Amino acid sequence: MLARVQSYLLQGIDAHPCEVEVDADRLAENKPPVIVGLPDAGVREAHERVRAAMQNSGYSFPLGRVLINLAPADVRKEGPVYDLPIALGLLISTGVVRGPAPLVQVPGAAKIPAGAPSNAPAGGIDAPDGLDYRKFLVGGELALDGRVRPVKGAIALAALAKARGAQGVIVPADNAPEAAVVEGIEVYGVRTLTELVGLLNGHIEPQPTPPPDVLGLLREASAPVDFAEVRGQEAVKRAIVIAAAGSHNLLMLGPPGSGKTMMAKALPGVLPPLTAEEAIEITRIYSAAGHMPAGVGLVTSRPVRSPHHTASTPSIVGGGIIPRPGEISLAHRGVLFLDELPEFPRDVLEALRQPLEDHVVTIARAHGSVRFPASFMLIAAMNPTPKGDIAPGDVGRRAMENYLSRLSGPLLDRIDIHVEAPAVPWAELSRGLHGKSSGPPGTSTAQMREQALRARERQSRRQGATLTNSRLSGRQLDELAPMETAAKEILGQAMTTLGLSARAFDKIRRVSRTLADLDDRDTLTVPDITEAVGFRLLDRKV
């Protein structure tokens, strides 16, 4: 008997239809099941997991020839996502799952099930009190004892089901909250193979997973670190406010222990809260990468990714035989923090140049290409020398120049703000040691966020909510960032004296535009240009 179950295949972060066809011929010679349709090793092993899961759940694995086809046959399939659809197809072909009666067309009347009375309701009927598996997309991994384990891309599967007009999806229970984020479809989470059979045969009352309160979850999200905990570094905090206000890339230069890592992890608290669309977009990426915790339906905070400096290019940018998102895509709508920037391999750093400009990364393979979103803020940190300190005189200067030479000029050009993070003085560190606070408290995350959000609102009114100052083109800057005459002269002198590139010229104007927004001004003034030029710290050293 031939059975068909609708499932999906994951390409990038998007799900595409995949039909699982199971043909069980009991009269043929008993041979090992065959899976065709470009399966990888994980898919080819599925029949052994399915056999054990069915037998340990009390169902017989069919004897005879079993052929399983995954269509379309010209696209590679990977992973254990097809375990549950294959098992369901075998259960249908052996009669364990009662399929709905076939629909027949009566001339001049609506379709009715074969053998049903003439007064049957229009549109046909489902299996008695159970779900019609034909109206659902199914995916899940099976354990040998029949438990259903979570899989990647459940939210993409739900989006595919909605796009195809399906009634809903049947997924592992751990994936149900994630799939339920997609509105307009029914989501059923199953924990065991037996539970799936009961759901389809009407032995278990169908209870779809309720959709989560996305806006409520986003309102409850909070930053893990408050900038008030950072001692000193008020100048760096000012630079971080500017970076958050205009979505600019930032590089902090300073000795070990000056708080660079702590400030990078606190930065998302200064950024605007995630919108529902952004949260769902990030969740799709994390789900496709297999990074969603079991039972968690939505990513509610802006991500901070901090890969080690030994990371390879594919792990940062993305890649693999079947391309998967890398760290820059996992940092989408959030922060990619690269600590000890010069210690990263040169090819890794150079691979960042194109995504920093285009905000997407395209992974090309012989069978096609996949695009991953990569709209992130690059926050980098580095010591002045490999030892972390600066020796006095020419020796220290040469050591610093040699260390900085590991960074290419084109990469530094793409970082809008270079700021020095000096060692924190004892006066700041000792505040509060005896239960008393000496001097005013440091700027808090709430204060910094208020400044950044005010500037963002001004940007939104001028150029739209999705276009931040860091993305303004040269032509847009000519129109939206007018300068006073004196400011133009200062900028011209800086370009000539420092030998800055054309890209650095636009970076200065973008940062100046943000500085003016923070002060609620339309025109760029001399202080704006001067401060923005001051943030090109490393252009004078490499």
Quick one: average pLDDT of 271-296? 92
At residue 109, the pLDDT reads 41
- Has residue 209 been placed in a domain? no
- Joined tokens for residue 533: 């030029």
- Has residue 87 been placed in a domain? yes
Distance separating alpha carbons of residues 298 and 284, to the nearest angstrom:
9
List the Cα angle 174/177/182 in 5-degree steps. Answer: 135
Domain identity same for 383 and 298: yes
490-514 pLDDT tens trace? 999 999 988 888 888 999 999 999 9
Domain identity same for 361 and 491: no
Domain identity same for 299 and 372: yes
pLDDT tops 50 at residue 126: no
List the Cα angle 88/124/211 in 5-degree steps. Answer: 60
Query: Could you tell me what percent of the chain has a pLDDT over 70?
Result: 89
Can you tell me whether residue 396 is helix, strand or coil? helix
Domain identity same for 316 and 238: yes
* pLDDT-based confidence at residue 263 (cuts at 50, 70, 90): very high
453-475 pLDDT tens trace? 999 999 999 998 889 999 999 99
- Joined tokens for residue 542: 């490499």
Q: What is the DSSP string of 372-383?
A: EE---EEEEEE-
* pLDDT-based confidence at residue 432 (cuts at 50, 70, 90): low
Residue 381: beta bridge partners?
Answer: 252
Residue that is last in its domain, among 141, 166, 201: 201
Residue that is last in its domain, among 201, 235, 250: 201
Distance separating alpha carbons of residues 355 and 466, to the nearest angstrom:
17
- Residue 478 makes CB contacts below 8 A (sequence gap 6+) with none
Alpha-carbon separation of residue 293 from 150, 174, 180, 188, 326 (angstroms): 10, 9, 15, 18, 18
Residue 170's φ and ψ, nearest 5 degrees, are -120, 115
Distance separating alpha carbons of residues 176 and 165, to the nearest angstrom:
19
* 131, 200 contact by CB (below 8 A): yes
At residue 296, the pLDDT reads 86
Domain identity same for 273 and 320: yes
DSSP 232: S
* pLDDT-based confidence at residue 130 (cuts at 50, 70, 90): confident
Q: Could you tell me which of 407, 317, 401 has the C-alpha nearest to residue 356?
A: 317
Q: What is the CATH number of the domain that holds 10?
A: 3.30.230.10
Helix, strand, coil percent content, the chain, rounded in steps of 5: 40, 20, 40
Please state the domain count of the chain.
3
**Which residue reads 């802006």 in tokens?**
302
Q: Could you tell me which of 283, 338, 64, 333 has the C-alpha nearest to residue 158?
A: 283
Residue 364's φ and ψ, nearest 5 degrees, are -100, 135
189-210 pLDDT tens trace? 999 999 999 999 999 999 999 9
Distance separating alpha carbons of residues 442 and 39, to the nearest angstrom:
58
Domain identity same for 416 and 485: no
Domain identity same for 81 and 159: yes
Q: Left if phi > 0, otherwise alpha if psi is -120 to 50, otherwise beta: which for 246?
A: alpha
* 249, 468 contact by CB (below 8 A): no
Domain identity same for 276 and 134: no
284-316 pLDDT tens trace? 999 999 999 888 889 999 999 999 999 999 999
* pLDDT-based confidence at residue 439 (cuts at 50, 70, 90): low
Domain identity same for 495 and 403: no
Domain identity same for 460 and 494: no
Alpha-carbon separation of residue 228 from 237, 262, 400, 422, 477 (angstroms): 10, 11, 31, 18, 35
pLDDT tops 90 at residue 85: yes
Distance separating alpha carbons of residues 254 and 56, to the nearest angstrom:
61
Q: What is the DSSP string of 189-229?
A: EESBHHHHHHHHHTSS---PPPPP-HHHHHHH---SS-GGG
Query: Could you tell me what percent of the chain has a pLDDT over 90?
Result: 65
Domain identity same for 499 and 369: no
Residue that is last in its domain, among 144, 166, 201: 201
Distance separating alpha carbons of residues 176 and 181, to the nearest angstrom:
9
Longest dimension (CA), the chain: 99
At residue 30, the pLDDT reads 76
Distance separating alpha carbons of residues 120 and 106, to the nearest angstrom:
12
DSSP 127: S
Enclosing domain of residue 381: 219-431+440-468
Domain identity same for 17 and 151: yes
- Has residue 283 been placed in a domain? yes
Mean pLDDT score of the chain: 88
Lowest mean pLDDT among 20-34, 352-366, 448-462: 20-34
